[in-house]
Structure 1
Amino acid sequence: MTDSPALRTALAYHHAWTGGDFELAMTHVCDDIVCLAPSGRLDGAAAFRQFMGPFAQIATRVELLAAFGDDTTAVVMYDTDTVPVKDAPGAECVTVTDGKITWMRIVFDRVPFEQARSA
C-alpha cells in the first residue's frame, strides 16, 4: 500500500499534522492547493493554513482508520477527538502532483463543532 506515490505524500502530511508538526505538514502542500471543505472552497496555501492550522491545534487524539492510494490519488480516513468535540471522524481525498498535495476534499460533520461554539 505505501508503494503508492500519492499515498506516501498523503500519509506524510497526515502524520506530520497529527504528530504536532503543522509546519512539516505544510511542506507536503503545494502553494496553489485547492481544498474543498465543508465550509467551502479554499484557494492557496495561506487559506488552507488558516483553515487547517487551528484544527490541528485543537486535536487531542487522531486514530488512522484506513489509507489507500495509487499514483496520483489517495484517501485517508481517521477518527479524531478535539478540545470542543469528541468523536469527530474525518476523511481526506487528495490529488498529488510532483510529491505535493494539489487538491484536497475534506469530509467531516460540521454540526457538532457549530453546536460546541454556540454552547
Structure 2
Amino acid sequence: MTALDVALAYHQAWTGHDFEAAMQYVADGIFCQAPSGPIEGAEAFRGFMEPFSKILLESELLAAYGDESTALLMYGTRTVPVADAPAAELITVADGRITQLRIIFDRQPFTEARAADAS
C-alpha cells in the first residue's frame, strides 16, 4: 500500500465512525503535530483524535495526494458544535502504518462553541 492508500483507509475509517479500524493504521510510536501541541504515541493520539471522531456528523474529502511515503489530505467536517471545520493532514507512512501526522485546523470555532455552551 502507498502512503496515500493508508491515509485514505485511515480517513475513511475514522470519518465512518470506526475508530478501532482507524487505529490499525497508526504506528505505536506515532508523532502528531497538532494545533494544541505535539502528541506522542498511539494511546495519546487516540486520546486526541477519538473524541473528535465522536462529535463528527459528516466529512467531505476535498483533495488527496501522495506517493510511496507521504500523503496530504484536505477535508471539511461538520461536527456537533461547529458547522464548518476544514482541516488538512500531512501523513508519513512506513511499513503500512502512520508514523507522523501533522494536522492543521482552526481551533477558534471550537473554543467559541465551548464558551457559548458554558454561558
TM-score, structure 1 normalization: 0.96
Query: Can you list the C-alpha shifts for 1:8-54, whole angstroms capped at 9, x where unaligned?
Result: 00000000001110000000000000000000000000110000000
Corresponding residue number in structure 2 for 1:94: 91
Corresponding residue number in structure 1 for 2:5: 8
> Which consecutive residues of structure 2, in runs of 5 or more, have no partner in the other structure?
none
Cα separation, 2, equivalents of 1:69 and 1:6? 6
Corresponding residue number in structure 2 for 1:49: 46
Instruction: For 1:103-114, list aligned pairs within 5 A.
Output: 103-114=100-111
1:27 to 24, 33, 57: 24
Task: For residue 51 of structure 1, give the secondary structure of its aligned residue in structure 2.
Answer: helix
Tell me which stretches of 4 or more aligned residues in structure 1 moved more than 6 Å.
none
1:76 to 73, 76, 84: 73
Query: Can you list the C-alpha shifts for 1:58-94, whole angstroms capped at 9, x where unaligned?
Result: 0001000000000100001101000000100011100
Number of residue pairs matched by the alignment = 116
Percentage identity across paired residues of the two chains: 61
> Which consecutive residues of structure 1, in runs of 5 or more, have no partner in the other structure?
none
CA RMSD of aligned residues (A): 0.7
